[in-house]
Amino acid sequence: MHDFKYSDGELFCENVALARIAAEVGTPVYVYSRHTLTDHYHLLEDAFSGFPSLICYSIKANSNRSVITLLANEGAGADIVSGGELWRALRAGVPPEKIVYAGIGKKAGEMVSALEAGILMFNVESLTELETLNQVAGEIGKVADIALRVNPDVDPDTHPYIATGLKEAKFGINIEQALAIYERADSLPNIRIVGVHQHIGSQITSVEPFQDSLSKLKELLSALQDRGFDIRFINIGGGFGIPYHQEEVPRPSDYAEALGPILKETGCQVILEIGRMIVGNAGVLMTEVLYRKQTGDKGFLVVDAAMNDLIRPSLYGSFHELLPLTRTDAREEIMDVVGPVCESGDFLARDRAIPRLEPGDLLAVMSAGAYSFAMSSNYNSRPRAAEVMVDGSEYRVVRDRESYEDLVRGEHEWE
Ligand code: LLP
């Protein structure tokens, strides 16, 4: 479900023709639908309304201030993984008591900022991190509320780079060691245990990996409760997959139905850390065709967006649907759609059947709301794209296109 649709042969975001945005703001440009964002958030909220739950929007997916503020205004908290994300979340108006902080490499200074802000909890990923947190909290006279991020060793059946819950992953604490580390945490004066956490991977397209991991987590929880630990929160992480290519994926209500009974039995408040499912299909990247080119047997469409704007195809081989802004019945041809960056790995699509397009034509790269602008860079000294948000018949630039001056900000000459 999203708000990017053709009307009279022109692709719209809500009630705004994308071609209008391209003409007025230029390309490449990211466009987000406010309605899709709130709609996805409410689908999740409604699905999990049967038990006490908190949805922490995973800021890493799309950290534009307007996106975070919009979701915070709808009631979302935030899942953060760095001091920068903490700063962004607070600045965008997320209440600190709705912020959870994961990540395997939290630095002492970042811990101090989070403790001073009064976040809901740290998701601690190792014994050494736990001990550092205890020390840092002690030094500033605070007590840190924590969950341990437990690695349940399940296979989420997704791209290896985004599977995080397998034994060999760098994330979390091996479930066999968790009990001992909870006991250690209990003995530390500046640590208060409040929850258990898992995050098993991203773009997961079935409920089973969650069922498997939760039944393991549930065992741990019972063992903890038997020992008298007061565990109030169970954080099941994020990872709900989205359709990139018309594939069937579970809806939030399917997850709630499948996981509800086991979650209810825990008696805990449920935390979800969802990124992609909220923002992924709420955004597109618009790009203009610059050239057509043929080398040997291969046809190329050179467009003005590149791997620095959207790295997912290059990094994970991800599929993003490409839609011409103006519908055409031109015959389809098989093309590589590539950007101007000087790397053979710079492509948005390979061997893609696409209606014949000419220089000057515009394309929407679909499902580009999550891990898209957020992972962009300035490689090849390309200013990062503008970001636009649409609301009904209006739109606003919510991040300016970068200038050449932005490219050198902070650089110093040394002759
Ligand atoms: N919680 C934690 C601790 C995470 O590490 C992540 C994502 C999430 C929640 C949110 O997961 P989501 O609901 O968005 O699946 N760049 C990759 C995805 C990396 C995901 C990293 N962690 C991509 O473009 O597919």
Place of tokens 């929007």: 57
Where would I find the beta strands (DSSP E) of 93-237? Answer: 99-101, 121-124, 144-151, 173-174, 191-197, 233-235
Closest atom, ligand 1, to C-alpha of 275: 14
* Rounded distance between C-alpha atoms, residue 231 and residue 267, angstroms: 9
* Rounded distance between C-alpha atoms, residue 321 and residue 107, angstroms: 39
| CA gyration radius, the chain | 23
Q: What is the pLDDT of residues 74-85, one digit of tens each?
A: 999 999 999 999
Mutate to test the pocket of ligand 1, among 276, 311, 312, 377 (most ligand atoms within 8 A of CB): 276
Asked whether the predicted pLDDT for residue 166 surpasses 80, the reply is no
Average pLDDT over residues 268-278: 98
pLDDT of residue 57: 98
Q: Is the dihedral of CA 329, 333, 334, 335 positive or negative?
A: negative
Tokens read off for 110: 């970042």
Amino acid at position 397, single letter: V
* Rounded distance between C-alpha atoms, residue 378 and residue 387, angstroms: 15
Distances in whole angstroms, Cα of residue 218 to Cα of each of 49, 75, 156, 200, 208: 21, 27, 18, 15, 15
Taking the centre of ligand 1 as the mean of its atom positions, its distance from the CA of residue 271, in whole angstroms, is 15
pLDDT of residue 334: 98
pTM higher than 0.85 for the full model? yes
Q: What is the pLDDT of residues 317-353, one digit of tens each?
A: 999 999 999 999 999 999 999 999 999 999 999 999 9
pLDDT of residue 72: 98
Q: What's the N-to-C CA distance of the chain in angstroms?
A: 56
Instruction: Measure CA 257 to chain center.
Output: 23
**Structural domains of the chain, with CATH:** 4-32+281-408 (2.40.37.10), 95-274 (3.20.20.10)
Asked whether the predicted pLDDT for residue 130 surpasses 80, the reply is yes
Asked whether the predicted pLDDT for residue 161 surpasses 90, the reply is no
Closest atom, ligand 1, to C-alpha of 372: 24
* Rounded distance between C-alpha atoms, residue 211 and residue 216, angstroms: 9
* Rounded distance between C-alpha atoms, residue 122 and residue 270, angstroms: 15
* Rounded distance between C-alpha atoms, residue 112 and residue 110, angstroms: 5
pLDDT of residue 145: 98
pLDDT of residue 153: 87
- Residue 350, φ and ψ in degrees, nearest 5: -120, 140
Strand pairing report for 332-338 and 347-355: antiparallel
User: In which element (H, E) is residue 155 found?
Assistant: none
pLDDT of residue 397: 98
Residue with CA nearest ligand 1 atom 9: 238
Where would I find the beta strands (DSSP E) of 154-204? Answer: 173-174, 191-197
- Residue 190, φ and ψ in degrees, nearest 5: -105, 20
Q: Which long-range contacts (CB under 8 A, 24 or more apart) does 170-173 make?
A: 170/104, 171/104, 171/125, 171/199, 172/125, 172/148, 172/197, 172/198, 172/199, 173/124, 173/125, 173/126, 173/127, 173/148, 173/149
Taking the centre of ligand 1 as the mean of its atom positions, its distance from the CA of residue 141, in whole angstroms, is 33
Burial category of 251 from C-beta neighbours within 10 Å (exposed 0-12, middle 13-18, buried 19 and up): middle
Taking the centre of ligand 1 as the mean of its atom positions, its distance from the CA of residue 236, in whole angstroms, is 13
Average pLDDT over residues 297-326: 97
Residue with CA nearest ligand 1 atom 6: 238
Taking the centre of ligand 1 as the mean of its atom positions, its distance from the CA of residue 331, in whole angstroms, is 38
Average pLDDT over residues 2-26: 97
User: Catalytic residues, which ones?
Assistant: 342
284 with 4: CB under 8 angstroms? yes
pLDDT of residue 254: 98
Q: Which residue has the higher pLDDT, 154 or 110?
A: 110
pLDDT of residue 258: 97
* Rounded distance between C-alpha atoms, residue 229 and residue 165, angstroms: 24
Mutate to test the pocket of ligand 1, among 58, 85, 122 (most ligand atoms within 8 A of CB): 58
Average pLDDT over residues 183-211: 97
Residues near ligand 1 (Cβ within 6 A): 58, 60-61, 79, 102, 162, 199, 202-203, 237-240, 273-277, 312, 316, 371
pLDDT of residue 156: 80
Closest atom, ligand 1, to C-alpha of 273: 9
Q: Which residue numbers belong to the known binding site for substrate?
A: 276, 312, 316, 343, 371
Query: Going edge to edge, which strands form the sheet with 16-17?
Result: 4-7, 10-13, 16-17
235 with 273: CB under 8 angstroms? yes
State the pLDDT confidence band at 88, using cuts at 50, 70 and 90. Answer: very high
* Rounded distance between C-alpha atoms, residue 49 and residue 17, angstroms: 35
Q: What is the mean pLDDT of the chain?
A: 96
Taking the centre of ligand 1 as the mean of its atom positions, its distance from the CA of residue 274, in whole angstroms, is 8
